[in-house]
Amino acid sequence: MEDIITVSDLMTGNPETVFPDDELGEVYALMSERMIRHVPVIDSEGNIEGVISHRDLIRTALYEFDDLTYLDQRDALKGMLVRDVMTTDPDTIGPEMPLADAGRLLLENKIGCLPVVEGNRLVGILTESDFIKHLVTESELAQAELAARPAVPH
């Protein structure tokens, strides 16, 4: 019997995080520089308070500024805080949850990420991109395995 793949096998440990009182301009810069779309929001103890996504920024803060340059968009966000647009009380998962269950939760709730917690303390994040990377890797391995098989005469 194969081992069950768990969230801890795929999650990003120690993800980038922000605090509720951080300015949105800095969060926007972080997301742009690191090329990430979801950032957990934590308190000073490392406990999860929410999640902020690129979609949150666009939907609530940048919707009227879509024709501005990156720097102008960042300036438009100055003075606005993470707490003003973050999703509070996000769905969370534990690191030992089977990966299939976590994927089902993403699909059923139509969300792009799940903070991974032990208790209430953030230990990682699992995103749609993690699943796609996993699928691509598995597909490449399967293709390589098929290519390495000797041809069967007809």
Q: Quick: pLDDT tens for 106-141.
A: 999 999 999 999 999 999 999 999 988 888 888 887
Place of tokens 């919707």: 63
Q: pTM to 2 decimals?
A: 0.81
Domain made up of 7-148: CATH architecture: Roll (3.10)
State mean pLDDT over 55-78. 67
State mean pLDDT over 57-62. 71
More confident residue, 72 or 25: 25
